Amino acid sequence: MDAAFSLKDKTILVSGATSGIGRECALYFAQAGAKVVAAGRSAEKLDELKAEISGGGHCFIQADLGEVCEIESLANSIPQLDGFIHCAGADMRMPIKFSDRAAERKIFEVNYFSAVEIVRAIVKSRKMARGGAIVFMSSVSANFANAGHFAYGNSKAALSALAREMAVELAPRKIRVNSISAGLVETPMTKAFLESDSPELEADRKKYLLGYGKAADVARLALFLLSDASAWMTGGDITIDGGYSCQK
């Protein structure tokens, strides 16, 4: 295997590391030789991750990224990094007339503003090494609409745009920034929808030519974008969705 595809001796911050794609990334990156800085909301789940993760030199930070003060606290705790992947995410399926600004703001705080704050902290404190990489977990919802999913979709569209903007700003320091637009991945966050027997579920399932995704499918792509194997990639967005978006 080409050494460029390894994360050996790289320190990678993973937000949302206690669940779903973030947790899978933390475990997978550790197997690939990374020192993982795992940030998550639940102390109990951080302990579970700690017990399961392979290798050494990892650190675990408890933070609720829906709270601004906790984002600041996390930012202050971040060590010198070679990479950052923003997996923290929150979902909401609510038609606009039943939603309200507070609920929509909460989605944006977790999905978008926490990424902004962490990147700001990394950039201001110069905690990201030259040649480092940043990846934002975006979604096909940034480009494709589903009923009641506007707050989530809009927050992910903002996140994809942030990747392009940060790619430009951080290029002078050779820091690369890309986003991943994932289709529906079976995680605790999507469990309620998958078990909802919603009228749209069966139709939605048929759009996925390869079925719904697993967290491991996305973690492998994330590893590539954080590794030196993607050294010439920045400002990009890669879709990984089992064929969801290639059809009319």
Partner 1 sequence: MTIMENFIKGLKENIDALENAEIRPDTNLASAAGWDSLAALSAMAFIASEYGVNLTAREISAAATPEKIFEIIQSKK
Distance from C-alpha of 80 to C-alpha of 141, rounded to nearest angstrom: 33
Least distance (Å) between residue 34 CB and partner 1: 39
Contact 10, 83 (CB under 8 A): yes
* Residue 102 binds partner 1, judged by CB under 8 A: no
- Binding partner 1 (rule: CB under 8 A), the pick from 70, 186, 198, 207 is 198
- DSSP secondary structure string for all residues of 134-193: EEEEEEGGGTS--TT-HHHHHHHHHHHHHHHHHHHHHGGGT-EEEEEEE--B-SHHHHHH
| Options 42, 76, 196, 245; binder of partner 1; rule CB under 8 A | 196
137/222 Cα distance (integer angstroms): 9
Please say which residue, 84 or 152, places its beta carbon nearer to partner 1: 152
Using an 8 Å Cβ cutoff, are 37 and 58 in contact? yes
Scanning 5-13, 32-40, 177-185, 190-198 for contacts with partner 1 by CB under 8 A, the matching segment is 190-198
* Alpha carbon distance 146, 91 (integer Å): 13
Report, in Å, the least distance between residue 13 CB and partner 1: 35
Stretch that binds partner 1, among 113-121, 174-182, 197-205, 240-248 (CB under 8 A): 197-205
199 binds partner 1 (CB under 8 A): yes
* Interface with partner 1, residue 101, by CB under 8 A: no
Least distance to partner 1 from the beta carbon of 208, Å?
Answer: 16
Q: Which of residues 16-75 bind partner 1 (CB under 8 A)?
A: none
Nearer to partner 1, 29 or 152 (CB): 152
Q: Where are the alpha helices (DSSP H) in the chain?
A: 20-31, 43-52, 68-77, 101-108, 114-124, 150-170, 188-194, 199-207, 215-226
Residue from the set 2, 3, 56, 97 that interacts with partner 1 by CB under 8 A: 97
- Which of these ranges, 18-26, 55-63, 71-79, 94-102, lies near partner 1 under the rule CB under 8 A? 94-102
197 binds partner 1 (CB under 8 A): yes
Q: Is 161 in the site for partner 1 (CB under 8 A)?
A: no
**Measured distance CA(234)–CA(171) in Å, rounded:** 8
C-alpha distances in angstroms, 176 versus 51, 80, 134, 169? Answer: 32, 16, 6, 10
Which residues are tagged catalytic? 152
Query: What are the residues binding partner 1 (CB under 8 A)?
Result: 93-95, 97-98, 146-148, 192, 195-200
